Amino acid sequence: MDYLFHLLILITIYIILAQSLSLTAGFAGMVSLAQAGFYGIGAYSAAILSLNYHLSFLSILPIAMLFCGIIALIVSTIALRTVEDYFIICTLGIQVIVFSIMNNWTGLTNGPLGIPGIPSLTIFGIAFQNKLQFLLLSICLTIFVFLFLRFFTTSSFGRILKALCEDEIYTQSIGKDVFLSKIISFTITAMFGAIPGVLYAYYISYIDPTIFTVDESIFILSIVIIGGKRNLWGIIIAAAFLILLPEALRFIGLPNNIAANLRQIIYGLILVILIMTGKNGIMDLFQVKMKGNPIKPINSDNFTRNTP
C-alpha cells in the first residue's frame, strides 16, 4: 500500500511541474526546457534553508517560490529577447548552467554527493511521517495549483497569452503588453515549479543534482505535450500514464534498467507520433473527448505571417 502512495505522491509532483510548465509552453507557446532547473532550485532551497537555518515548511515554501520567481524574472528578461527555436536553445542553456551550479558549487550544494538528512515535514506541530499524510498534503497543493492555473488561464490574462501564441504582432497592435505578459507567465511557471521541488526534498529527505538534469526537463515537457496543449486535465492523465508506465513494464517482468529505457523509448515515440499526426495530446490521439480548452491545429500561416 505504501508503494502505491509513493507512486501517487510522485504523480502529484509531476502534475504540478507539468501544469505550471503548460502555462508557458501550452498557453503562451513558449516552449521552455528549464523547468527541471527551477524544480531543482526549489528543492535545494528547501534543503539548505531547513538544514542550515531550521526554518519550518510553511516559511520555506514561500521563500523558495519567491527565490525561484526572482531568478526567473532575471532569466526571462534575458531569454525572452529570443523567439521560438532560439528560446528553446536559450532555456536549455539556462538549464545546463543551473545543473552545473548544483553539481559543482560544493560549498553550497555539497556537489554530486547531494544533501542528505532533510528533517521531516511539520506543520503546526503535526509531523507528516507516513506516506498517506504526505499524499494528502501534496494532493491539496496540486488542487491549489490546478485551480489557480484554471482561474488564471480563463481570465483575461490567459486570453492575452493565447492571443500572443497565435499572433504576437497582432496582440501588440491591440494594445497588449506582450513582453510583460510573457515575463509574468514565465515567472509564475518558475514559482510553481519550486513547489514540487520543496515537496520532493521533504519527501525523499535526500537530494542530489542528477535528479534535475536536462533529461528531466525533456520529460516534463513531454508530459505537457502528451497531455495536450492547453489541457490541464490531459496533463493529469499524461503524468499518471508516464509515471505508472515503468511500473507496468516491471509488472510484466522486465528488469529495472530495461523498463527505464523502454519508458523513454515509448514517450519519445509518442511525441513523434503526436507531432506527425498533428493531434493535441494523447486523449485526442485516441479520440477521447476531453473537457478543457479545445485548440485548433496551429496552421502555419500564423507563424509565417510575421516573417518577410
Partner 1 sequence: MQQVLLNIIISGFLYLLLAQSFSIIFLTTKFFHIAHAAIISFGAYFTFFFFQKCSLSLWVAIPFSILISILLGLLIELVIYKPLRKKKTPSLLILIASLGLYVFLQNLISLFWGDDTKNLRSGDIKIGYNIFEARITSIQISLIFISAILFVLVSVFLKFHKVGKNIRAVSANIELADILGINSENIILWTFGIGSGMAAFVGILVASDTGLTPTMGFNLLLYGTVVMIIGGVGSNWGLIGGAFLLATAQHLTTYYMDSKWIDVVTYTILILFLIWKPLGFSGTRFKKVEI
Task: Please pick, from the candidates 247, 275, 288, 294, the single residue that binds partner 1 as defined by CB under 8 A.
Answer: 275
For 90-127, give the DSSP string: HHHHHHHHHHHHHHH-HHHH-GGG-B--PPPPEETTEE
Q: Does 298 bind partner 1 (CB under 8 A)?
A: yes
Task: Please pick, from the candidates 59, 154, 155, 306, the single residue that binds partner 1 as defined by CB under 8 A.
Answer: 306
Q: Which residues contact 102 (CB under 8 A, 6 or more apart)?
A: 40, 44, 109, 209, 212
The values of phi and psi at residue 78, to 5°, are: -80, -55
Looking only at residues 54 through 113 of this chain, which bind partner 1 when binding is defined by CB under 8 A?
78-79, 81-86, 88-90, 92-94, 96-97, 100-101, 103-104
> How many chain residues bind partner 1 (CB under 8 A)?
48
C-alpha cell at 290: 476531453
Amino acid letter, residue 55: L
CB of 21 to partner 1, least distance (A): 13
> What one-character DSSP code corresponds to residue 299?
P
Looking only at residues 204 through 233 of this chain, which bind partner 1 when binding is defined by CB under 8 A?
214, 218, 221-222, 225
Q: Does 114 bind partner 1 (CB under 8 A)?
A: no
Amino acid letter, residue 135: L
Task: Please pick, from the candidates 51, 73, 244, 271, the single residue that binds partner 1 as defined by CB under 8 A.
Answer: 271
Q: Per-residue contact track with partner 1, 18 to 57, x per CB under 8 A?
A: -----------x-x--------------------------
Look at phi and psi of residue 290 and say left if phi exceeds 0, alpha if psi is from -120 to 50, else beta. Answer: beta
Of 68, 212, 198, the closest CA to residue 134 belongs to 198
Task: Please pick, from the candidates 13, 237, 270, 290, the single residue that binds partner 1 as defined by CB under 8 A.
Answer: 270
Of 86, 92, 80, the closest CA to residue 186 belongs to 80
CB 234 within 8 A of CB 227: yes
CB of 90 to partner 1, least distance (A): 5
CB 139 within 8 A of CB 12: yes
Closer residue to partner 1, CB minimum distance, 60 or 249: 249
Residues of the shown chain interacting with partner 1 in the complex, contacts defined by CB under 8 A: 29, 31, 78-79, 81-86, 88-90, 92-94, 96-97, 100-101, 103-104, 214, 218, 221-222, 225, 257-258, 261-262, 264-265, 267-272, 275-276, 278, 298-300, 303, 306-307
